[in-house]
Structure 1
Amino acid sequence: MNETRIQYHGELEEVRSDLIRLGAMVSETIGRGTAALLDRDLHAAQVIIDGDDVIDDFCLGLEERCYRLLALQSPIAGELRFVLTSLRLISELERSADLIVNVCKSSRRIYDVEFGPQIRGLIEQMGVEATFLIRAAIDSYVDADTSLASALDDIDDRLDELQVAYVQAIFRSHSEMNLNLQGAVQMAMIGRYYERVGDHAVNIGERVMYMVTGWLPEKSGAARQRLREAEAEAGAESSESANTTDGAGPAVQSDSSPQDGLGEFPDRP
């Protein structure tokens, strides 16, 4: 292997290592953001909000390196899928961090709200599940583990259930917490932010499946859309044919006007 290829593979490995680091940064942010919310720690919440700039800068630098690899090295096959998947993961992780920033911003708007034990427990569980999903998604990427990647959607069901239970608990106990409408909305949005983190983890799993197998989830949707279009076209043609023949009776052709394309009928001998 020549020196250029050695350097190229070293750069690919650096991308992998930095994505692991980014995943660790995001999962840590989820835990710290959850703690700031539950402890009503405004200083900790502000540190996370300000620290999002660090994550954004890290993501930008990592993206630029991936684009440089595409432009200068022209990767193919598995290496191309690795770089494209890495680019998608950067976006998914950056958005996950943004969602926790939103949690911290919401915590400032409901600073005076005292959470009951059920609400606290559900928030804590959502934080744990979101952290687990992000870590599992990164593990599937690092290990090229399609089994884990494909399981993330089912694992995410637990977080979805917690989010539903959390919203229901808010409506049951809003009077005890002296929540006005705006406060109730802010509380409900917190659950939505955690649920969306889980969705980003599932998206990462789908991209890992693409990286390893070349399969894209969009292919199934595109195939379904083509089938719907074909069925709609066939239905339209059938309807048009029925409208043409309904009530019209058999067509009468005069002797002097032969049917188009058939020519004159031959005379009888």
Structure 2
Amino acid sequence: MTETRRVFHEELDAIRSDVIRLGALAGEAIEAATNALLAADLAAVEKVVANDRVLDDLTHDMEQRTCLLLAQQQPMAADLRMLVTVLRVIHEIERIGDLMIKVAKAARRLYPHEIDPKIRGLIDRMRDQAAAQLRLAIEAFADRDVARAAALVDMDDVMDELQKELFQAIFSVRSPDDSTLQLAVQMALVGRFYERAGDHAANVADRVQFMVTGHFSFEPSNADG
């Protein structure tokens, strides 16, 4: 192996490791944003917003490094698919971080009202589901595991069902009070943010299918944020 190729493969490994790191940061954001929301902790909301800068900076750094490798090395076959996949995957992960900022900021609009216990329980479950889907997607990327990637399809169905349960719980609360209406609107939006986070994780998995096999095995989810 020439020195140029050795350096190229070292940078490939570094980029792969940074994708895993990026996924870990997004996973931390899911946890922190949910905790801030459920605890009505406005200081924690500010931390979630501030920490997103780290995720954004890493995403932009990885994008530049990946584009530079594509331009300088002109990789072929598997290496090319890996780099193209990275360019898509990092933005799917970045969007999960952006969605968690929206989850955290909902705490500001709800403060100081308390969240109904049943709704709190469903938000907890959606948090766990989003984190599990992201974790599985990153593991599939790290291990080039098509079977794990395919499992995200069924997991995304679970998230969709949780969102339906959340909506039912929201609309079961009967009150003419304006604050209750505001709570319902915010909780519906929060449920949508978790559902979209799950869609982004599913899209990561679909990119893994392409990276390993050269084709998409299922239709990417329509995550619009």
User: Which amino acid counterpart does residue 110 of structure 1 have in structure 2?
Assistant: L
Return the alpha-carbon distance in structure 2 between the equivalents of residues 176 and 142 of structure 1: 50
Equivalence for 1:103: 103
Matches within 5 A, 1:1-269: 1-173=1-173, 175=175, 179-216=179-216
Identity %: 47
Letter in 1 for 2:47: V
Q: Secondary structure of 1:171's partner?
A: helix
Give the Å deviation of 1:115: 1.4
Shift in Å, 1:175: 2.3
- How many Å separate the matches in 2 of 1:116 and 1:163? 16
Give a deviation string over 1:107-158, Cα, whole Å, max 9, x none. 1101122112211110001001100110100000001110110110111111
**1:67 partner amino acid:** C
CA positional deviation for 1:52? 1.2
TM-score by length of 2: 0.93
**Which structure has the larger Rg?**
1
Matches of 1:34 and 1:176, distance apart in 2? 27
Question: Counterparts of 2:127 and 2:72 in 1: how far apart (Å)?
Answer: 41
CA-based RMSD: 1.8
**Cα displacement (A) at 1:106:** 1.3
Deviation at 1:22, TM superposition (A): 0.4
Query: Aligned in 2, Cα 1:20/1:219: closer, same or farther, shift over 3 Å?
Result: closer
How many residue pairs are counted as aligned between the two chains? Answer: 220
Secondary structure, aligned partner of 1:113: coil
CA contact (8 A) 2:106 2:190 kept: yes
Mark the runs of 5 or more structure 2 residues left unpaired by the alignment: 221-225
List alignment gaps of at least 5 residues for structure 1.
Answer: 221-269
- Matching residue's letter, 2:56: D
Q: Distance in 2 between matches of 1:186 and 1:219?
A: 30
Q: Which has the higher helix share?
A: 2
In the TM superposition, residue 20 of structure 1 has moved relative to its aligned partner by 0.5
Q: Partners in 2 of 1:176 and 1:123 — Cα distance?
A: 23
Q: Distance in 1 between matches of 2:203 and 2:177?
A: 36
Contact 2:206–2:218 (Cα < 8 Å) also in 1: no
Q: Greater shift after overlay, 86-95 or 210-219?
A: 210-219
Q: Which amino acid aligns with 1:52?
A: D
Q: Which runs of 4+ in 1 moved over 4 A?
A: 217-220
